[in-house]
Chains A and B, each alone.
Chain A
């Protein structure tokens, strides 16, 4: 389905409804991106008040999820969409759940950061978390871009980056274990760091899920629990076949 398809409904109101709900999902995405950036900043800069303010943003995100959910139900009930439109609505309902979860993980990171701000910061100032955070934040950003442009190629590329996040997660985990063995006094901080890294890894998974919904939306193909290589090959075949 292309974006232009959206402008081909007989009912103009239906068009507007679909466009509107899509725009709201992306606005919610923007809020989640900002929340995640704030949470990471609060950790890196040691700003406890910023970390605490993330909880407020998460409330707004939760509110948006409920509102968009209701709007989708209303569209399903009154318009009975079919084919591409139905896939769009289904994908939106799933996407907002993942966005909300990203918001929750962001809130967790914010809370832990607010606590860590009171403690002494390590010498490298959480450089590896900063690096991992950047990859994850970019994944969320690019996944939402793919959603906005209905770009399945980019969705696959973004989904593939999840592996990089997993590798980072492993590396930081190993590092934390080393720290704990070297100096038992650092265990508390290392555990907190582990929680943050765990949350980031989860955010990466949610971003990957969003990419999968984009592929579902564009090609009508459910690619959950499928190897990415297979997905890519299928998509390429689909692209080379004349429609």
Chain B
């Protein structure tokens, strides 16, 4: 038998005690009584040890381990060793955890951990400072109970967190950007950043563009006027006529750029979604068609009005967006080609305005950058075409004002299709395609 030495020792001692009991019993004349007494005493001793051990385990922190021998001593030292190892691991984990917490707490950005109900689980010092949260008091509180701006509640509710939400709060005004990062199971990390500086720079940039375009306008008007007068002069040296005509063309182009820039900065200045009034898109498309046909060289224009629904929006903005799209299509489509304007209602109730052309098309690598200001797909040709390079930027901004999206599909050599998709809340009435009288369908 492979027993630890302590057990051998215990057994030997037990044997000794029984022997001693038997000896004393024999002397007093009762062998069995002596053995029983000795065994009872041994049992009592073991129970005493057990009792001590139990007492020590209950109150381990304040008492030193009991000084017992034999198996009980082994048990005590085993417990002490286990305990020490556990404490060591705990200490290491705790230190790691504290280190992590310290580094998050020291982050220059505010960090809030939120649960599925948007209740605050934890936040760092910066978040506390930026939002005026109080440690311990605010744990477990719904975030929107303390940051009560309705726009934040809407942002959290819509569940789409690709873009951060910017909020102006307090006095003096501080612009805070809120970004939600979902992680783990139904946990959310919220990053809070002070973006006042960026917002100030952005508004300075907008102001600068608006002011610069405005200032450019008056000298340009003077130049345009003189060039026009000179061209009307019959006594003009014929050698000067060609350069002056070119000057007139370029000043007209510059006028176009400046007024587009002014349009853009006006659109930029107002980010609120417009309420607007009902716009008759069918009539608008008829006007767009006429405009294209008025060009010296124009492609064939088809109208496909699958619906007579009205669009709720700002008439001037919508006209400028739609005519920019129609103009582009007309400009880039050869006169043998075809431009198609389409107005329809999708199955989900959203409305769709499409301009389809059979022009040269746009290579896929250009598509994502198409709506950038002054972005040109083909340097040489678009200059000839005389665009300002701002048309699609204007379209993008107008659509943003109406909660709509621009979708561009194009195959080089085949043609392009620009679609504006408006949400159903902007659509008023209107029958679905088939119910319309044929006159409207073909227009």
Binding site for B on A (CB under 8 A): 3-4, 19, 22-23, 26-27, 29-31, 33-34, 134, 137-138, 144-145, 148-149, 151
Say whether A149 contacts B138, CB under 8 Å: yes
Query: Are A26 and B140 touching (Cβ within 8 A)?
Result: no
Most interface-central of A22, A33, A149 (chain B CB within 10 A): A149
CB-CB under 8 A for A23 and B149, given A138-B171, A149-B134, A149-B137: no
B146 contacts A151, CB within 8 Å? no
- Choose one: B134, B137, B141, B144; the contact of A27 (CB below 8 Å): B144
* A–B pairs, 6, beta carbons within 8 Å: A3-B140, A26-B142, A27-B144, A27-B148, A27-B150, A149-B134
B148 x A22 contact (CB < 8 A): no
Instruction: Tell me which residues across on chain A come within 8 A of B138, comparing CB atoms.
Output: 149
Tell yes or no: B41 within 8 A of A by CB: no
Residue of A nearest to B134 (CB): A149
A31 to B152, CA, bound (A): 11
Residues in chain B within 8 A of chain A (CB atoms): 132, 134, 137-138, 140-142, 144-146, 148-150, 153, 171
Min CB–CB distance B310 → chain A (angstroms): 22
B146 close to A145 (CB less than 8 A): yes
Give A56's nearest chain B residue, CB to CB.
B275
A23, B144: Cβ atoms closer than 8 Å: yes
Once bound together, how far apart are the Cα atoms of A27 and B143, in whole Å?
A: 11
A-B interface contact total, Cβ < 8 Å: 42
A residues in contact with B140, CB < 8 Å: 3-4
**Closest Cβ neighbor of B138 among chain A residues:** A149
Q: Which of B132, B137, B145, B171 contacts A151 (CB 8 A)?
A: B137
Determine which of B132, B144, B171 lies in contact with A26 in the assembled complex, contact meaning CB atoms within 8 Å. B144
When the two chains form their complex, are residues A148 and B146 in contact, meaning their CB atoms are under 8 A apart?
A: yes
**A228 shortest CB reach to chain B, Å:** 23
Chain A contacts of B153 at CB under 8 A?
27, 30
A4 to B141, CA, bound (A): 10
Question: Interface of chain A, helix or strand or loop or mixed?
Answer: helix
Contact B137 A30 (CB under 8 A): no
| List of A residues within 8 angstroms of B171 by Cβ | 134, 137-138
Residues of B within 8 A of A148 (CB): 141, 145-146
A145 CA to B150 CA, complexed, in Å: 15
| Given A23-B144, A27-B144: A34 in contact with B134 (beta carbons within 8 A) | no
- In angstroms, Cα B334 to Cα A236, docked, is 86
The answer to whether A144 touches B134, judged by C-beta atoms less than 8 angstroms apart, is no
Q: How far is the CB of A49 from chain B (nearest CB, A)?
A: 10
Q: A134-B171, A138-B171 are in contact. Are A31 and B150 (CB under 8 A)?
A: yes
Question: Which residues of chain A come closer than 8 Å to B134, judged between CB atoms?
Answer: 149
- B148 partner, pick from A3, A19, A30, A151, beta carbons under 8 A: A30
Residue on B nearest A20 in the bound complex, by CB: B142
Residues of B within 8 A of A29 (CB): 148
Closest beta carbon of chain B to A152's beta carbon, Å: 13
Q: In whole Å, how far is B152's beta carbon from the nearest beta carbon of chain A?
A: 8
List 8 A-B pairs, minimum CB-CB distance, nearest first: A30-B148, A148-B145, A26-B145, A30-B150, A31-B150, A134-B171, A149-B137, A29-B148
Q: Considering only CB atoms, which chain A residue lies closest to B152 in the complex? A: A30
- Chain B residues with CB under 8 A of A34: 149-150
Question: B137–A26 contact, CB under 8 A?
Answer: no
Q: How far is the CB of A128 from chain B (nearest CB, A)?
A: 15
Bound: A22/B138 CA distance, A = 15
Check B145–A23 contact: CB distance below 8 A. Answer: yes
Q: Which residues of A contact B142 (CB under 8 A)?
A: 19, 23, 26
Rounded to whole Å, the gap between the CB of A153 and the closest CB of chain B is 11
Contact A33 B141 (CB under 8 A): no
In the assembly, what is the distance between CA of A134 and CA of B146, in Å?
Answer: 19
Looking at A23, A30, A137, A151, the one whose CB has the most chain B CB atoms below 10 A away is: A30
In angstroms, Cα B406 to Cα A178, docked, is 58
How many angstroms between the C-alpha atoms of A31 and B132 in the bound complex? 19
Q: How far is the CB of A141 from chain B (nearest CB, A)?
A: 8
Q: How far is the CB of B150 from chain A (nearest CB, A)?
A: 5
Instruction: Give min CB distance, A1 to chain B, whole Å.
Output: 14
Q: Determine if A3 and B150 form an interchain contact, defined as CB atoms under 8 angstroms apart.
A: no
How far is A187 from B181 in the complex, measured between Cα atoms in Å?
A: 56
| Chain A residues within 8 Å of B149, by CB | 30, 33-34
Q: Are A144 and B148 in contact (CB under 8 A)?
A: yes
What residues of B have a CB within 8 angstroms of the CB of A26 in the complex? 142, 144-145, 148
Cα of A19 to Cα of B171 in the assembled complex, Å: 30
> What CA separation (Å) do A29 and B145 show in the bound complex?
9
For the complex, what is the distance from the CA of A138 to the CA of B141, rounded to whole Å? Answer: 21
- Which residues does chain B contribute within 8 Å of A30, judged by CB atoms? 144, 148-150, 153
Report the minimal beta-carbon distance from B274 to chain A, rounded to whole angstroms: 11
Chain B nearest CB from A207 CB (Å) reads 14
Are A33 and B148 in touch, CB under 8 angstroms?
Answer: yes
Cβ contact within 8 Å between B148 and A149:
no
Measured between C-beta atoms, what is the minimum distance from A161 to chain B in Å?
14
Q: With the chains together, A148 CA to B149 CA distance in Å?
A: 14
- Report the Cα distance A23→B145, complex, angstroms: 6
CA distance A134 to B137 in the complex (A): 26
Q: A22-B145, A27-B144, A30-B149 are in contact. List 9 more A-B contacts (CB 8 A).
A: A23-B142, A23-B145, A27-B148, A30-B144, A30-B148, A34-B149, A134-B171, A148-B146, A149-B141
Also in contact, A3 and B141, with CB within 8 A (given A30-B153, A31-B150, A34-B149): yes
Q: Which residue of A lies closest to B137 (CB)?
A: A149
Bound together, the chains give a CA A4 to CA B142 distance in angstroms of 13
Rounded to whole angstroms, the CA-CA distance of A192 and B146 in the bound complex is 34
Alpha-carbon separation in the docked complex, A145 to B153 (Å): 16
Distance in Å: Cβ of B316 to nearest Cβ of chain A: 16
With both beta carbons as reference points, the residue of chain B lying nearest to A4 in the complex is identified as: B140
Nearest B residue (CB) for A149: B137
Distance A180 CA – B281 CA, assembled complex (angstroms): 54
